[in-house]
Amino acid sequence: MAVDAYEGGLRRLEGAATVAGVLAVLDVVTEAVVEQSPCMTCVPGCSDCCHHQVLAGFGEWQHVLAYVHAHLTPDAQRALVMRAEALLADPRGAVAAWLKLRDKDPRTRAYLRAFNRVVENVSTPCPFLVEGRCSIYPARPAICRAYGRMMRTERSAYYCTRILANMQRAGPLDALELPVFQPYHRVVLRQADGSLDEVNLLPIWILAHRAPDGTLRSGAQRVDPASPFPVVDGYWSYDDD
């Protein structure tokens, strides 16, 4: 049963020592969701969720960057950087709006409003999206794996609009039992002292790692507080309601 797989995932999560380990457990759990409810299979060719703004933790970025250097050619890396730069250059875009967080106090409503404007944006393509496909699919962040197939928390879901339509045709939503993303996300973001690590938009991680030759620097580094980019606490990415 899928519920057994969900419980098994939580047990395996306790022993997951790396981001890659957590992502592997997530894949097993989301595959169980689709096996239980085929209506939750992604629509072929759809990349709607790739136009949302993904917040990735530093550990996730390390995982992505290692994949980029192992699998993307220098020319592909330059094209990636150029796509991120194009997003930054759009004065009305989500990435430009994100930079404004740097000058706001995270304790204020102004910060919350600015943050929500960015994460609620659903029209900005991920720079890793190439010809409608994810170019880092095996290394994609945790939220990309959970979206549309897991509950965010016990009370709210990550519903994909297209999958939701299929679910409604298949039967009552209350009959579906879905795993909760929170425990997995906490492990992905958790630091040694138990606090949540910093997060950032994928375009920002890319821009913060530009090399002089237009590729990406090897060796992930945290966002420099003196840079134009905001350093965002993992609290803002972790749903805790």
Domain boundaries, the chain: 2-236
Look up residue 190 and give its amino acid.
R
pLDDT at 196: 92
Of 210, 188, 211, 183, the residue nearest 198 (C-alpha): 188
Burial 161-176 (b: 16+ CB within 10 A, else e): eebeeebeeeeeeeeb
Residue ranges of the chain whose pLDDT lies below 50: none
Contacts with 41 (C-beta within 8 Å, 6 or more apart), sequence order: 34, 163, 166
pLDDT at 164: 76
For 32, 55, 139, 237, the CA distances from 197, given in Å and listed in that order, are 29, 12, 19, 10
pLDDT at 173: 66
pTM: 0.92
- Cα torsion through 102, 103, 106, 109, rounded to 10: -130
pLDDT at 145: 94
pLDDT at 37: 82
